[in-house]
Structure 1
Amino acid sequence: MQRLIDLFKNKFFLVTVAFVIWMIFFDKNDLLSQYQYRQEVGKLKAERDFYQNQSDKVSKDLEELNSDPQKLEKFAREKYLMHKDNEDVFVIVKEKK
């Protein structure tokens, strides 16, 4: 019991405890902030992966469109409603219920 009392009277121990408490709860880089930063990093990494996958998909589609004229024509007809001079294009829009 005397050792415990002596430990709490030691100024170096008290300063160390105060420093640890300050760093855990009151500093701008406290534990809660670190947890939030890690959460944000996780979300940003997932977002980065999503956009990289989308970029790869678009690059693949672009390569296919540049290499195959039939796919280019199909793409232009579907996305931009392009047509030949002697054709009519009808757009069918489904009504939402």
Structure 2
Amino acid sequence: MSFFKHKYFKPFKNIFVLFLVGFAVWMLFFDANSWLIHHELNTDIEDLENEKEYYKKEIQKDKKAIKELSTEEGLEKFAREEYYMKRENEEIYIIEYEDSLKTE
């Protein structure tokens, strides 16, 4: 019992201090609205805000691509580059370099 007679344990003899410490520990760690849960939710909010910014940037890129494809020249350029389409009486030669080939 001489362990509890140390000067650091003197405030814990008061029932109100014990209750306050117990209440603080309960609210910080064990309650449904604890600090740990709030920290986890704040991390989730930050992740979702970052994801929101990413999708906003992607939407802007897609709007730009749609604007380019809405013109006759842009649509023709896309068809020629992606689907290798050509006009009548026209020859297309595809040149691929070794470093641009996909190897598995």
Normalising to structure 2: TM-score of the pair? Answer: 0.65
Matched, 1:79 2:48: no
Q: Matches of 1:42 and 1:85 in 2, distance apart?
A: 55
- The structural deviation recorded for 1:87 is 4.3
Overall identity of the aligned pairs, in %: 31
RMSD over aligned CA atoms reads 2.9
Task: Tell me the SS of whatever aligns to 1:62.
Answer: helix
CA deviations over 1:45-64 (Å, ceiling 9, x no partner) = 11110111110111122112
Unaligned ranges ≥5, structure 2:
1-6
Amino acid at match of 1:71: G
Larger Rg: 2
Q: Is the 8 A contact 2:28 2:35 kept in 1?
A: yes
Quote the offset at 1:79 in angstroms: 2.3
Offset from partner CA, 1:36-95 (integer Å, 9 cap, x none): 2212211111111011111011112211221x3112100122223333344455654714
Count how many residue pairs are aligned between Structure 1 and Structure 2. Answer: 92
In the superposition, the TM-score normalised over structure 1's length comes to 0.68
Aligned equivalent of 1:41, options 42, 45, 49: 45
